[in-house]
Amino acid sequence: MQIGFIGLGKMGGPMARNLAAAGHSVTGFDAAGVRIDGVAAAASAAEAARERDAVITMLPNGAILRAVYAEIVPAGRPGAVFVDCSTVDVESARAAAAEAEASGLLAVDAPVSGGTGGAASGSLTFMAGGAPAAFEKARPLFEIMGARAVHCGGAGSGQAAKICNNMILGISMIGVCEAFALAGKLGLDPHSLYDVVSSSSGSCWSVNTYCPVPGVGPNSPADHDYRPGFAATLMLKDLDLSQQAAAAVDASTPLGAHAATLFSEFVAQDRESLDFSAILPWLAARRHEP
């Protein structure tokens, strides 16, 4: 395929590289002038999108996505599939898809889980929203960049799945950290708690795969001074998106709201470059609030 790729940052760069390595002809554009080996450089987003079979975007937020779509949709070849892999608000995802479809393009919102490691190794999970024909056209690309692609429904469904998943993750990581902090103050060895919880009803990804305690459980950012991994700023971004969505549809998410508040306080204290699991030592240093 002739593929345009816009946004060649920490995620987009390795994703574009994997598409090129699989034999596709990839033309990329990034506002910061990033160049990727094997990926031809376009002078503008519109040039990267012109005459392509597929155009992928991997951008920081919904406002930037909308601005880029205003530029690239008119350049798209009718029938091409436009796939947005950024994490953005559901409303922007739906607006971008509507704009693309009004111009005769196929549109998919397909945010990812798996982080920079998954982007590099081509093992991301894609959560996709859009018409079945659009998803099918994008599927071969998902198979190169990822290990799994789930078609969740119509436009915006991928973003909805992503923020619901990450709201669970933010809440569960805080729950796990609270338990290990409490266990420490009760004199319980964290290895013992890990052995119990990882095979009991408290088990979850935050314990079993990504244990926030250094030296306990499988290798995780906690074992590397909490270098990300998945940065606390990105967790805060996703929790804020979940709260924006909850307000828009009048959904009650009290723990999601509290998780957003805690990560907001955490990030405000110069911890934005740390992995989100670094909320463990921060919580452990706090005192009981009756």
Other CB atoms within a 10 A radius of the CB of residue 240 amount to 15
Other CB atoms within a 10 A radius of the CB of residue 186 amount to 8
Q: How far apart are CA 67 and CA 193, in angstroms?
A: 49
| Sequence letter at residue 143 | E
Question: 10-49: which residues touch ligand NAD (CB under 6 A)?
Answer: 10-12, 29-32, 34, 45
Q: How far apart are CA 204 and CA 78, in angstroms?
A: 44
Specify the residue, 28 or 190, whose C-beta has the smaller distance to ligand NAD.
28
Q: How far apart are CA 193 and CA 242, in angstroms?
A: 31
State which of residues 36, 54, 55, 68 lies at the interface with ligand NAD (CB under 6 A): 68
Q: Does an H or E element contain 169, and which?
A: helix 157-185
**Contact (CB, 8 A) for 221 and 227:** yes
Q: How far apart are CA 240 and CA 257, in angstroms?
A: 8
In the residue annotation, 137 being an active-site residue is answered as no
Tokens of 45: 């987003």
Question: Which stretch in 112-120, 143-151, 243-251, 278-286 sits in contact with ligand NAD by CB under 6 A?
Answer: 112-120
- 224 in contact with ligand NAD (CB under 6 A): no
Smallest separation (angstroms) from ligand NAD to the CB of 184: 28
Identify the DSSP state of 79.
Answer: T
Question: Which stretch in 133-141, 142-150, 172-180, 229-237 sits in contact with ligand NAD by CB under 6 A?
Answer: 229-237
Smallest separation (angstroms) from ligand NAD to the CB of 17: 13
State which of residues 3, 36, 58, 83 lies at the interface with ligand NAD (CB under 6 A): 58
Count of residues that interact with ligand NAD, criterion CB under 6 A: 27
Question: Which stretch in 100-108, 111-119, 175-183, 186-194 sits in contact with ligand NAD by CB under 6 A?
Answer: 111-119
What residues are annotated to the active site?
162
Residues in contact with ligand NAD by CB under 6 A are 6-12, 29-32, 34, 45, 58-60, 64, 67-68, 86-87, 112, 115-116, 230, 234, 237
